[in-house]
Structure 1
Amino acid sequence: MKVVLVGVNSKFVHSNLAIRYLEAYTRQLDYSCELMEFSINDRPERVVEDILAEKPSFLGFSCYIWNVEFINRITTLIRLINPKIEIFYGGPEPSFDAEKFLERNSGEYVIEGEGEDTYKELIQHKIIEYVHKENVDFTRIKGLYTRKNNKVFYGGKRQLIDMNKIIFPYNEQDDLSNKIVYYEGSRGCPFNCKYCLSSTTHGVRFLEIERVKEDLRFFIKKGVRLVKFVDRTFNCNKKFANEIWSFLIKEGGDCSFHFEISADLLNEESLQILAAAKPNTIQFEIGVQSTNEQVLKNINRHIDFSDIKKEVEELKKLKNIKQHLDLIAGLPGEDFQSFKNSFNQVYEVKPDELQLGFLKLIKGSSMREEAAEWGMVASPYPPYEILKTKDISYDELIILKKVEHVVDKYLNSGKFSNILNCFIGSKKFETSFDFYYELSKFFEKQGYFKRNISSADYYKVFIEFNESNNIENSDFIKDIVKFDYLRFNKKKGIPIFLENKIEKNEERVIKERLLESGRVKKLNDYVVHKFNFNIKAFINEGKIVQENFYIAFSNIDNSYIFI
């Protein structure tokens, strides 16, 4: 009997944790198990071809709101080609609507909730059926939905697994280079947010802390680029979190580690520990969702934004922790103006990244049950995203979608920081939201949302935007755009709209002076560019000083030298 477990990821760089858990948990059983991973950007026909080439007798799929339609297409094709292959599904998408899910999809089984023990029992039964040719009753397996003779049978609820029974799902043969690797030190969440599935499971279970450290040593030794903890609120146990952070700061090497945390749960000890981290070692994702107290109460989040703000600002002072803050549009009771206020308040703390998400009425969440009360209309298709509520219209959500696009491109990329500071600091825009809103309207007017534009054009947009709105001194804007462009792009042959010629002899004299002073080691490692304004004065003091100014940009990395 050959089982193929399939993970369809949202991006190629992601890794699927669920199928690895199942394979590791049943490694001692006498059967053949193959893991296959794809992305939703692959052609379904090619995915089907690759799966069938493995000649499986039993197929399993890990299903989420963002891949379930893709998987439905794959399994439909597989069933048409070879109806003898049995199929099972797991993951949050089928778990809360298993009977209807089986009606709409090809397959015989759905594993509900946590899958390790249920999958193990299912495979043990399959071995008896395939190998020993005995009749087996699958309908009594707890946590399993079974379709038999066009009827669906449920084996009943299964108890949650003891976390320390879980087998570490990675091994030395795994190629984890250039991958985002997922890991969890705990399951469950102490909060009961209505839009989240974690609220359906009460309590939090942790792996033994020494086990976690040993697991993390594997990633560090293997040189994994980024380990993303999927724990819903990593620091809900402060002692556990502080000890893991201390360990990673001491032994983490060049790896980066991403955590979802609740900022208000940070304490003085946490901040002292985190202060010792090398830059890029620790990343935090902090779910703000809204700064409107009543909206937060409506979704069972009893957190004061002032507490979050205080800790985010304390982390900011450390200058070594990357912070990603989240907002959600479409929450119950939040209108357009309220969301705008939330945006401005969160932007004020200057997060490294700000994500504008949109409410999804996920199966199994209590928010879905309350939808009518709040006048919520959501797409009936995955990912079940909100279309309108009694507080915010479809048109207003579309505006926020466009704002989200420019925020993600310009703020979250980290490549336009000085340009953004220049525009947002101008008197033309009362708030940061107003700037991004006007920029999104300019994108719309120019048709940039409907076509691909080049990397250079993303910078040129600001020159065009400035000229069409008479916001700032156009020559000064051109210099700031040029500076941010040269930090992250090629130093020679820059776009014509950014050129400011420097004489070769003038550049040579400057380079030789840098070499003599010891500020550079090799002349060819740097390119000197001329500016009409003192960029250093603007960055350090916010002053606009017109004068000839020179900057040497490295050809090797993103460093530069003010001259």
Structure 2
Amino acid sequence: MKKKMKVLLTALNSKFIHSNLAVRYLKAYTKDLSYDCLIREFTINDRRGKVLEEIIKEKPDIIAFSCYIWNIEFIQGLANLINLVDPSIKILYGGPEVSYNSLNFLKENPGEYVIVGEGEETYREFINWQLQYENAKEEKYNEDALRKLKCIKGLTFKLEEEVYFNGDRDLMDLNKVIFPYNDQDNLENRIVYYEASRGCPFNCKYCLSSTIHGVRFFELNRIKKELKFLVNKGAKLIKFVDRTFNCNSKFAIEIWKFIIELHTEATFHFEISADILTDEEIELLANAPKGRIQFEVGVQTTNNEILSNINRHVNFEDIKEKVEELEKIKNIKQHLDLIAGLPGENIISFKKSFNDVYSIKPEEIQLGFLKLLKGSPMKEEASKWGMVYSPYPPYEILKTKDISYSEIIILKRVEEVLDKYYNSRKFDNILNYFITKFETPFQFYESLGEFFYDKGYLNRNISSAEYYKVFIDFIEENLKENSAKLKEIIKYDYLKFNKKKWIPEFLVRERNKEEERVIKEKIANEKISSGNYHIEKFFIDIEKYINESLLEEKECYILFDENKKSEVQIKL
């Protein structure tokens, strides 16, 4: 019996919990074709030699790679190894990192094919072509085979060291796209990616979406059916990859309403443009169960002139107004993005942007750095703004005529401590203590980042306890202040998120058996706890500090209720 052609669709994800949507789309779109199609997912943290071993073991005829800025170097090295071990394996590339200037990419790398842009229909035609001529070698392609190969729009191919591009393919009808998940998928403990639309109505110069005009939407009833499937499969985090989910208000409302009414513990993540949120949308979102919906809001900068430089025709005050409205309803987690290195923005302007966003106090603040992506309009303007960027993926900005390399390094340190401390939400009370001691939030994080660098903490792993101890060293060495009251705040934040039976030696634990007996009786009599709890003595009024930011010396006990995941101050 003749062996079927075998294709290995390969994804190199950034982390294990991530999954690749593109390869699933390709497999689903060709599921009726007579070939063996297997998806294998690895991470960029895997050993290249181990990934090579797993790939070769499958004995594929063709291996297809899904290419992005975070995995392209890994893939290029892997492709070289595959070519050395078994040159008979044909290599196909696709994805945003190879779609621009695919001719040069294929000239400089091993492999025979690149799919440019949207891939489903090009991949299907390519597989059909392979099935028709799978026994032919490059030197034996007949005239008919070559003619049909050159008719596959969206395909770049290499033939006898010459590289050809067949021209761009028109965007496809989304009704033809096949749902990429099935009953065999294990979606638990993974981020499940999903899209309800393709394209973006905006033209931000740093983004590849600006090169494709218009937005196409999937049919609403289809979306609802597919989301119900994912929820029933046990997906806990469903991340919509739509570039601006709320660009069509009626569409967004219909899906949000459906999600809000679902009986599930799943969380749904959306990238939105906050400034265009309507009153009707916010009123609807107010009804969402806490944790059901989370938003990623691309602020990028609060300087309206800089926003104009990147083709974002929006006013920060409009973004702030809507984000603050969402903060008030307290059930939507918000993640706000800033980008350093934008055209025309200097360090002073960026500091203001940071402080503006921090004043809103969203759940997360992401400090990113401008990336000069292949094919983006921003890359074409690099010389105009004096942009110097890394020639290696992810092509990150090194300096511009407005911001120096040393200032970028300062922001890198701020990014690290901000992500560890602010975004983890495990140090909130400690951070609130320090913010008041500096003129601005940025000044605090800049100082903390410099302290981390000086101590060498950015170059090595430190323990969970050390992340707390840093603050004691920081206040004593940098601010020359006594850390006694701060230690009580640190102890409280530490016990909220760590094992209660042990605390680090740099924190004070005083045990008074008689006081603890009285407290336990009070807990039992007043039915304060659900049963599984821990009590700890403090020497400041924790409740007053949290609610009023007042530091008052006072002996008290805090009950940490494990089942309710809450804390209650108990009077002696």
Which of 96, 99, 114 is 2:118 aligned to? 114
Q: Compared with structure 1, are the counterparts of its residues 54 and 467 closer, same or farther at alpha carbon in structure 2 (3 Å cutoff)? A: same
Q: For residues 447 and 108 of structure 1, what CA distance do their matches in structure 2 show?
A: 46
1:502 to 2:511 alignment: yes
**Quick check: 1:252–1:281 contact (8 Å CA) kept in 2?**
no
1:527 to 2:534 alignment: yes
**Quick check: 2:530–2:564 contact (8 Å CA) kept in 1?**
no
1:512 to 2:516 alignment: no
The 10-residue stretch of structure 1 (32-41 or 496-505) with the greater mean CA deviation from structure 2? 496-505
After superposition, where does 1:4-403 map in structure 2 within 5 Å? 4-130=8-134, 135=142, 136-137=145-146, 138-251=149-262, 253-403=264-414
Q: Partner of 1:549 in structure 2?
A: 556
Q: Compared with structure 1, are the counterparts of its residues 321 and 473 closer, same or farther at alpha carbon in structure 2 (3 Å cutoff)? A: farther
1:3 to 2:10 alignment: no
In structure 1, what residue type is equivalent to 2:464?
S
In structure 2, what residue type is equivalent to 1:553?
F
Q: For residues 557 and 339 of structure 1, what CA distance do their matches in structure 2 show?
A: 41
Q: For residues 302 and 378 of structure 2, what CA distance do their matches in structure 1 show?
A: 19
Per-residue CA distance 1:514-537 (angstroms, 9 max, x = gap):
011011242xx1111111100100
Q: Partner of 2:472 in structure 1?
A: 463
Q: For residues 518 and 151 of structure 1, what CA distance do their matches in structure 2 show?
A: 79
For structure 1, the 5+ residue unaligned runs are none
How far has the Cα of 1:287 moved from its partner?
Answer: 0.2
**Quick check: 1:463–1:474 contact (8 Å CA) kept in 2?**
yes
Q: Partner of 1:443 in structure 2?
A: 452
Q: Compared with structure 1, are the counterparts of its residues 557 and 38 closer, same or farther at alpha carbon in structure 2 (3 Å cutoff)? A: farther
**Quick check: 1:285–1:326 contact (8 Å CA) kept in 2?**
yes
**Quick check: 1:118–1:143 contact (8 Å CA) kept in 2?**
yes
Q: For residues 489 and 91 of structure 1, what CA distance do their matches in structure 2 show?
A: 42
* Secondary structure at 1:337 match in 2: helix
**Quick check: 2:122–2:153 contact (8 Å CA) kept in 1?**
yes
In structure 2, what residue type is equivalent to 1:32?
D
Number of residues paired by the alignment? 559
How far has the Cα of 1:132 moved from its partner?
Answer: 8.8
How high is the sequence identity, in percent, across the aligned residues?
59
How far has the Cα of 1:506 moved from its partner?
Answer: 2.1
* Secondary structure at 1:140 match in 2: coil
**Quick check: 1:8–1:37 contact (8 Å CA) kept in 2?**
yes
**Quick check: 1:287–1:325 contact (8 Å CA) kept in 2?**
yes
Q: For residues 506 and 482 of structure 2, what CA distance do their matches in structure 1 show?
A: 16
Which of 432, 435, 442 is 2:441 aligned to? 432
TM-score normalised by the chain length of structure 1: 0.98
In structure 1, what residue type is equivalent to 2:447?
E
Q: For residues 211 and 168 of structure 1, what CA distance do their matches in structure 2 show?
A: 9
* Secondary structure at 2:384 match in 1: helix
Q: For residues 371 and 478 of structure 2, what CA distance do their matches in structure 1 show?
A: 36
Q: For residues 59 and 262 of structure 2, what CA distance do their matches in structure 1 show?
A: 43
**Quick check: 1:140–1:154 contact (8 Å CA) kept in 2?**
no
How far has the Cα of 1:347 moved from its partner?
Answer: 0.5
Q: For residues 122 and 67 of structure 2, what CA distance do their matches in structure 1 show?
A: 16
Runs of 4+ in 1 over 6 A off after TM superposition: 131-134
Q: For residues 61 and 50 of structure 2, what CA distance do their matches in structure 1 show?
A: 19
Q: For residues 111 and 284 of structure 2, what CA distance do their matches in structure 1 show?
A: 50
How far has the Cα of 1:548 moved from its partner?
Answer: 0.2
Per-residue CA distance 1:76-114 (angstroms, 9 max, x = gap):
100000000000100001100101111221100000000
In structure 2, what residue type is equivalent to 1:468?
E
